[in-house]
């Protein structure tokens, strides 16, 4: 349970709220990369964290669709899709599809074009893809990594066109088309934004530490109408689904401090049209990082930041994984008095834990959730995604 | 019962030297079998491991029928719905230092982690920051490589060291464990493209497929898709002849080994005839005698088997190296890792020792137990083999020989039938030894009495009088000598056939880049073409393809140049066979023709980059370059079909003579060396091929030596037993007035006589074996004709071996003769 008493700190701490995505990115990056090399990245990142990379300092002049694309002058970048879906019979599904771009180079200097082979490693691209079948209580996850190669992976710099082998996310006009297939898992969705772009932090500059440059540029499309087809290892063929998705895009060149143990992240679509994002960063000493924060997006698309003192979260239940033995929160009461929100949230399936290659021991929980409660004193329901890390072995040490 | 057994065992201590000899006999036999079996198994195991390890988790791979493919193919592969995982691979050879040619794989560690996770994972296995940088170095240092532990151990290098190769120095940034015996170097795909100058190209793509049929339908044109099962079958087929050779040698070892143990055990029983008689005389029951004998034999079997299995294991370590060299020379570089010691070796050794001992001991034992104590008491001296028995046995032997020949006729059904036929034939021959002895005794007696009068006569008569003992020793020795003669004749004929073939086909004055690890750049060829004095250049390109699901070689050559400068040996016709080749038909090697039963006028269908094409066969030529068979076509046909201009090597024919010729050769050499390409002149090239050939037969030669060692123990055991049994006879000789020296000469002459008879028999048997090996076994397993070239050497060697071994085997009895007092010898009478 987190209770913070100083609402006056709102403006000071608001800049910290976006750490969540950076963590997730780095975490996922490690996840993918460490299954090749459990301990490689730390030194890599150490030498990557240099002043040669462009830093997230000052106001970013946003221009779309250009900024949906890649920003290779920054070291890291990610595009993040999650959603809750219903098929024609009313069965529920969840999905997660994430693309990461990370530069392995020590500096952003360009290699001589003439000498450059497509195999030259500038950026590597990573992806995570998960499907949850609520009805059948099944959860499937897969990950992949690729360098640019001869057309294997890339992200356009002038529009959203991200490809990672046969996974991709492409924006055409106002709609985003995402596609991924791995063995018997497949999604092919068209996402139509219902609300405008939400810039987090100060016009999208999302501070994540007190030091200058310890920040990222960050925006979201919090509510996207989703329709398309999905295929799971249990279904023989693809079938139609529709629902709501959430999209995040963030880029920067920064590094995290290693004192955190993990984080809890919530993204919720409320039935009255409001969207809520909360991010809680847990430190190793048991306290909560001041950066923990949230964003509330109203039905009309207007948004406001929720600093940590405004957020009250109580853990209602816990669940122990039989595989990792990690004990995860498994039910929450979220109260945001200033927004008149009072919600009780439960996972749609307890077992949405991702255990990657056993030797790396990186394990986290990310899954579809539902809830009910009141918003503006009216009864509402909610669906969304929650990410829980650092419960089955600390992640801080690895970072 | 215990007393009886103790009495028997005490005898063994008394006759220490005989016991040791007996034990060595069994141990040698077991060692030969175990050694050969373990090394053969290790080699094949390593080979399978190498295939498995390289394959990783891939289910299929796709490549061009010849040459490499454009890397942009990956763009389509990644979107193919049948593909779960894929990994592009550059698969080449590199020469490390001055040493061996090693396989080098260029991979993308990200994509390859799905196929060979254990290799990629090792890049960052370590804990120290230095090791953690391995992946970074691997990707960013242009010459960074990973090598396997075995190789690192052998070269004594670790991370951070550099290795010189024919493609420049490479830096080792990590090592990985490799359970197979094939050394392996791993490089990043981009860097590999650079050092092999094939930017934009990949050699193949390893795949994990979920729908093979669908994938094949989409990719059938211009690509070759091979499942792992096919690949394994192909590679195993590649080793087929080699495997056969190993099996044959293992069988030979088994045969000689069992024979020796049998021989030894039989002598052990026979020589105890008198003791058994005494035992029976003082009231010991038959069953007790039988049991005591069995215990003794089993004890020898167990002890000899155990010692033999340990020796066999040690022997296998030596043989494995030889096998590794052979596989590396002929197929691909492999350092077989010896299988670890297993207690099963011991069990197998003991089982073999006991089994063969029982087999050898059982007949005389039954005979002995049955005999009345009084006649047994007389010892074995009066026991003579009747001429009728000898004749009956020989008739039986002749029947067995005909069965063997019958088998040999049907060798074409399967080469194993040929093996069986050969061994049956040998057993048959050994059964006729008695008859041969009988027939040759008068002649020998005359010869020996001419040499040394009465003494010689006595010696030869002794051989005859003890036929039932001597014939077995003679048979064992004869078989070993025949094997030696047969194998030597095979090697000799093969070698000469090879020389004849080289002289007719490999007639270039100088060859560029005949090694497998370097190709010739096209520019060099263009440059040389215009050089004055050079009459013709044969452009050689060789690829491996599958024909009717079996691996064969496809070779592209310049037919007009070969027609003009070489003198191919055709099964039918002559130089005119080249004419249709220029117009697009193909010629095939004899091995190809026999293997697939394809004749002139037939058509061969091969998968080319243009799809399946059917080409007419217009000639068959002798070839010893590969037992898998060669399809040869003109380079223009090849380029048209496969769109591959790679040149593996060049053969250059120079028109001018004298000093000018020498100058041109040197100039060509300089041009090639400037590009880092190795050259060899005709003589050197031929010598290298012969060296490979000699290497290939190293294992055969060591088996030949082994056979002779085993045979030596056989004849030594026989002589010693004879001596031990007949000590009193020597006493009588002394009492009759023979000098010690004369008695010694009798003993020696007996040994030499047996050796001589063995040799005489082996002249016939050895020649027969040579014929079988060359015309039956070899033809069936390699599908090529070896011409018989007679050589006296194998026979001279066999003769020398026979005489030296029999003299050697007589040494101990001789020493005994001199040492013992005549009185002591006669006292027993």
CA dist., res. B276 & res. B758, Å (int): 31
CB contact under 8 A, B75 and A150: yes
CB B62 within 8 A of CB B640: no
Nearest CA in chain A to B135: A40
Residue B655 backbone phi and psi in degrees, to 5 = -80, -40
> CB of A143 within 8 A of CB of A127?
yes
Does B458 have pLDDT greater than 80? yes
In a domain, A67, yes or no: yes
Find where tokens 């990222």 sit. A216
Task: Give the per-residue pLDDT at B616.
Answer: 93
Of B538, B540, B595, the C-alpha closest to B565 is B538
Region A67-91: mean pLDDT is 91
Domain membership flag for residue A398: no
Q: What is the pLDDT of residue B677?
A: 83
A149 and B CB contact within 8 Å: yes
Look at residue A260 in the predicted model and tell me its pLDDT.
66
Q: Is the pLDDT of residue B828 over 50?
A: no
pLDDT bucket at B119, cuts 50 / 70 / 90? confident
Q: Is residue A2 part of a domain?
A: no
Alpha carbon separation from A19 to A65, A207, A264 (Å, rounded): 24, 8, 11
Q: CB neighbours (10 Å) of residue B79?
A: 12
ipTM of the prediction: 0.80
- The mean pLDDT of B802-829, rounded to a whole number, is 71
Mean pLDDT of A84-102: 91
Q: Provide the residue count of chain B.
A: 829
Q: Does the CB of A174 have a partner CB in chain B at under 8 Å?
A: no
Give yes or no for A121 touching B (CB within 8 A).
Answer: yes
Whether the pLDDT of residue A71 is over 70: the answer is yes
In Å, how far is A261's CA from the nearest CA of chain B? 22
Q: Which residues of B touch A36 (CB under 8 A)?
A: 109-110, 113, 120-121, 123-124, 135
| CA–CA distance, B602 with B581 (Å, rounded to integer) | 14
Predicted confidence band at B736 (pLDDT cuts at 50, 70, 90)? confident
Chain B residue with Cα closest to A42? B132
Picking from A110-114, A344-348, B441-445, B602-606, which range would have the lowest pLDDT averaged per residue?
A: A110-114
Question: Are the Cβ atoms of B108 and A119 closer than 8 angstroms?
Answer: yes
Residue A198 vs residue B657, higher pLDDT: A198
Question: For position B377, what pLDDT does the model report?
Answer: 61
pLDDT digits (tens, 9 = 90+) for A227-253: 999 999 998 889 999 999 999 998 887
- Contact yes or no for B79 and A150 at CB 8 A: no
Residue B85 DSSP SS3: strand
pLDDT of residue A258: 61
Does any CB of chain A come closer than 8 Å to the CB of residue B120? yes
For residue A369, what is the domain's CATH number? 2.40.370.10
Task: Label residue B301 by pLDDT band (50, 70, 90).
Answer: confident
Report which of residues B620 and B550 the model is more confident about. B620
**For position A347, what pLDDT does the model report?**
94
Domain count within chain A: 1
The distance of B129 to chain A (nearest Cα, Å) reads: 7
Q: Is it the case that residue B245 has pLDDT exceeding 80?
A: no
Percent of chain B predicted with pLDDT > 70: 92
Cβ distance A43 to B127 less than 8 Å, yes or no, reads no
Query: Could you tell me which residue, A39 or B313, shows the higher pLDDT?
Result: B313
The C-alpha R_g of chain A, in whole angstroms, comes to 20
Whole domain around residue A33: which residue ranges? 7-389
CB-CB under 8 Å, B133 with A147? no
DSSP string, A116-162: --TT--SEEEEEEEEEEETTTTEEEEEEEEEE-TTTTEEE-SSS-EE
- Asked whether the beta carbons of B12 and B296 are under 8 A apart, the reply is yes
Residues of chain A in contact with residue B190, where contact means CB-CB under 8 angstroms, are 117-121
Token duo for residue A282: 């847990």
CA distances (Å), origin B82, targets A186, B78, B212, B217, B289:
13, 9, 7, 11, 75
- Regarding predicted confidence, which is higher, B764 or B726? B764
Nearest in space to B747 (alpha carbons), one of B796, B820, B798, B799: B820
Higher pLDDT, B146 or B122: B146
Longest dimension (CA), chain A: 65
A10-19 burial: b if 16+ Cβ within 10 Å, else e: beebbbbbbb
A139-179 confidence digits (pLDDT tens): 998 888 888 888 899 899 999 999 999 899 999 988 999 99
Question: Is position A165 within any domain?
Answer: yes
Residue A36 pLDDT level (bands cut at 50, 70, 90)? very low
Mean pLDDT, chain B, as a whole number? 82
Q: In angstroms, rounded to a whole number, what is the distance separating the alpha carbons of residues B526 and B539? A: 11
Q: Are A389 and A58 in contact (CB under 8 A)?
A: no
Q: In this structure, what token pair is assigned to residue B680?
A: 């060899």
Query: Hey, of B110, B133, B201, which one would you mutate to test binding to chain A, going by the most A CBs within 10 A of its CB?
Result: B110
Q: Which chain B residues have a beta carbon less than 8 Å from that of A119?
A: 108, 188-190, 193
Span A302-328, pLDDT tens digits: 988 888 888 899 999 999 988 888 899
Residue % of chain A over a pLDDT of 90: 40
Q: Which of B416, B497, B624, B191 is nearest to A115 (CA)?
A: B191
Tens of pLDDT along B151-190? 888 888 888 888 888 888 888 888 888 877 788 899 999 9
Examine residue A394 and state whether it is found in any structural domain, yes or no.
Answer: no
In the β-sheet with B550-557, what is the strand arrangement from edge to edge? B603-608, B611-621, B586-589, B630-634, B550-557, B534-547, B649-654, B510-512, B679-681
Q: Angle at which helices B240-270 and B698-725 pack, to 10 degrees?
A: 10
- Where is average pLDDT lowest: A38-47, A269-278, B721-730, B810-819? A38-47
């Amino acid at each position: 349970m987190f209770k913070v008493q100083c609402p006056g700190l709102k403006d000071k701490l608001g800049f910290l709220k976006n750490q969540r995505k950076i963590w997730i990115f780095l975490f996922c990056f490690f996840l993918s990369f460490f299954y090749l090399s459990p301990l490689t990245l730390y030194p890599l990142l150490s030498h990557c964290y240099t002043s040669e990379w462009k830093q997230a300092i000052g106001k970013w002049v946003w221009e779309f669709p250009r900024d949906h694309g890649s920003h290779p002058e920054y070291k890291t970048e990610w595009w993040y899709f999650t959603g809750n879906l219903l098929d024609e019979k009313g069965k529920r599904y969840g999905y997660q599809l994430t693309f990461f771009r990370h530069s392995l180079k020590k500096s952003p200097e360009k290699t001589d074009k003439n000498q450059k082979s497509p195999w030259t490693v500038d950026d590597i691209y990573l992806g995570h893809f998960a499907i949850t079948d609520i009805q059948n209580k099944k959860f499937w996850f897969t990950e992949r990594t690729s360098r640019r190669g001869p057309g294997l992976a890339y992200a356009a710099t002038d529009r959203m066109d991200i490809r990672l082998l046969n996974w991709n996310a492409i924006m055409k006009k106002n709609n985003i088309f995402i596609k991924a297939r791995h063995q018997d898992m497949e999604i092919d969705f068209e996402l139509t934004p219902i609300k405008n772009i939400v810039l987090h932090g100060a016009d999208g500059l999302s501070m994540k530490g007190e030091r200058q440059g310890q920040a990222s540029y960050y925006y979201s499309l919090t509510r996207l109408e989703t329709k398309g087809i999905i295929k799971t290892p249990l279904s023989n063929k693809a079938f139609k689904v529709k629902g709501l998705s959430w999209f995040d895009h963030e880029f920067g060149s920064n590094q995290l401090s290693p004192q955190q143990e993990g984080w809890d992240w919530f993204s919720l679509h409320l039935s009255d049209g409001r969207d809520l994002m909360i991010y809680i960063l847990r430190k190793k000493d048991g306290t909560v990082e001041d950066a923990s924060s949230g964003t509330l997006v109203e039905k009309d698309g207007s948004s406001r930041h929720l600093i940590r003192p405004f957020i009250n979260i109580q853990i209602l239940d816990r669940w122990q994984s039989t595989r990792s033995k990690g004990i995860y929160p498994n039910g929450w009461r979220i109260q945001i008095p200033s927004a008149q929100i009072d919600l009780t949230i439960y996972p749609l399936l307890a077992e949405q834990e991702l255990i990657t290659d056993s030797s790396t021991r990186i394990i986290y929980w990310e899954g579809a959730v539902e809830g009910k409660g009141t918003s503006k004193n009216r009864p509402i329901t909610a669906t969304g995604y929650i990410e829980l890390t650092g419960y089955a072995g600390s992640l801080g040490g690895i970072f | 019962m215990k007393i009886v057994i103790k009495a028997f065992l005490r005898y063994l201590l008394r006759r220490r030297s005989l016991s040791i000899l007996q034990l060595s006999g069994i141990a040698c036999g077991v060692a030969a079998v175990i050694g050969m079996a373990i090394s053969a198994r290790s080699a094949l195991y390593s080979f399978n491991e190498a295939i498995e390890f390289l394959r990783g988790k891939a289910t299929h791979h796709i490549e061009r029928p010849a040459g490499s493919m454009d890397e942009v193919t990956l763009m389509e592969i990644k979107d193919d719905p049948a593909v779960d995982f894929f990994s592009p691979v550059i698969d080449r050879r590199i020469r490390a230092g001055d040493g061996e040619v090693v396989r080098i794989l260029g991979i993308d560690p990200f994509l390859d982690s799905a196929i060979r996770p254990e290799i990629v994972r090792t890049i960052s296995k370590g804990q120290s920051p230095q090791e953690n940088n391995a992946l970074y170095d691997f990707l960013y240092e242009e010459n960074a490589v990973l090598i396997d532990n075995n190789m690192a151990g052998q070269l004594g290098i670790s991370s951070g060291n550099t290795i010189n190769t024919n493609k420049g120095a490479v830096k080792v940034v990590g090592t990985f464990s490799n359970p197979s015996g094939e050394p392996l170097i791993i490089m990043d795909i981009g860097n590999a493209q650079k050092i092999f100058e094939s930017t934009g190209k990949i050699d193949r793509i390893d795949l994990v497929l979920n729908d093979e049929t669908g994938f094949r339908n989409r990719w059938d044109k211009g690509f070759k898709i091979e499942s792992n099962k096919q690949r394994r079958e192909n590679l195993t087929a590649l080793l087929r002849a080699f495997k056969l050779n190993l099996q044959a040698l293992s069988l030979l070892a088994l045969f000689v080994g069992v024979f020796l143990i049998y021989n030894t055990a039989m002598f052990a029983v026979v020589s105890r005839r008198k003791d058994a008689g005494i035992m029976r005389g003082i009231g010991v029951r038959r069953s007790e005698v039988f049991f005591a004998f069995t215990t003794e034999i089993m004890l020898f079997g167990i002890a000899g088997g155990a010692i033999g299995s340990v020796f066999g294991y040690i022997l296998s370590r030596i043989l494995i190296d030889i096998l590794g060299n052979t596989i590396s020379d002929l197929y691909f570089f492999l350092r077989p890792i010896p299988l670890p010691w297993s207690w099963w070796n011991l069990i197998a050794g003991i089982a073999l020792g006991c089994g063969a001992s029982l087999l050898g001991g059982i007949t005389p034992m039954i005979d002995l137990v049955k005999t009345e104590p009084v006649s047994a008491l007389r010892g074995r001296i009066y026991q003579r083999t009747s001429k009728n028995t000898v004749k009956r046995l020989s008739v039986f032997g002749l029947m067995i020989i005909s069965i063997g020949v019958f088998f040999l006729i049907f060798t074409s059904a399967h080469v194993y039938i040929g093996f069986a036929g050969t061994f049956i034939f040998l057993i048959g021959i050994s059964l006729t030894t008695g008859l041969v002895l009988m027939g040759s005794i008068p002649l020998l007696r005359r010869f020996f009495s001419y040499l040394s009068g009465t003494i010689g006569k006595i010696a030869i008569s002794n051989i005859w009088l003890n036929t039932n003992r001597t014939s077995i020793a003679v048979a064992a020795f004869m078989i070993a000598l025949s094997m030696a003669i047969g194998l030597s004749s095979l090697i000799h004929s093969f070698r000469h056939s090879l020389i004849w073939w080289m002289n007719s086909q490999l007639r270039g004055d100088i060859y560029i880049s005949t090694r497998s690890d370097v190709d010739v750049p096209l520019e060099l060829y263009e440059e040389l073409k215009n050089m004055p004095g050079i009459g013709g250049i044969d452009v050689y390109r060789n690829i491996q393809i599958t024909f009717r699901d079996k691996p064969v070689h496809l070779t592209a050559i310049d037919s007009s140049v070969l027609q003009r400068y070489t003198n191919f040996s055709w099964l039918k016709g002559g130089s005119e066979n080249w004419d249709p080749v220029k117009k697009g038909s193909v010629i095939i090697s004899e091995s190809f023709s026999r293997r697939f039963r394809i004749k002139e006028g037939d058509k061969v269908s091969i998968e080319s980059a243009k799809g399946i094409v059917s080409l007419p066969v217009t000639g068959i030529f002798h070839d010893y370059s590969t037992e898998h068979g060669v399809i040869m076509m003109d380079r223009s046909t090849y380029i048209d079909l496969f769109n591959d201009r790679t040149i593996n090597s060049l053969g250059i024919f120079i028109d001018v003579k004298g000093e000018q010729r020498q100058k041109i050769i040197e100039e060509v050499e300089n041009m090639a060396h400037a590009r880092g390409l190795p050259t060899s002149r005709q003589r050197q090239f031929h010598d290298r091929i012969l060296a490979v050939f000699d290497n290939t037969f190293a294992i055969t030669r060591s088996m030949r030596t082994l056979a002779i060692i085993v045979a030596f123990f056989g004849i030594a055991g026989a002589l010693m037993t004879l001596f031990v049994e007949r000590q009193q006879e020597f006493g009588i000789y002394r009492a009759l007035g023979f000098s010690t020296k004369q008695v010694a000469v009798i003993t020696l002459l007996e040994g030499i006589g047996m050796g001589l008879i063995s040799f005489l028999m082996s002249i016939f048997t050895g020649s027969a074996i040579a014929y079988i090996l060359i015309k039956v076994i070899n033809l069936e397993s390699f599908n090529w004709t070896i011409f018989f070239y007679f050589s006296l050497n194998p026979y001279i060697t066999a003769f020398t071996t026979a005489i030296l071994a029999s003299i050697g085997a007589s040494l101990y009895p001789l020493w005994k003769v001199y040492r013992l007092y005549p009185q002591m010898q006669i006292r027993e009478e």
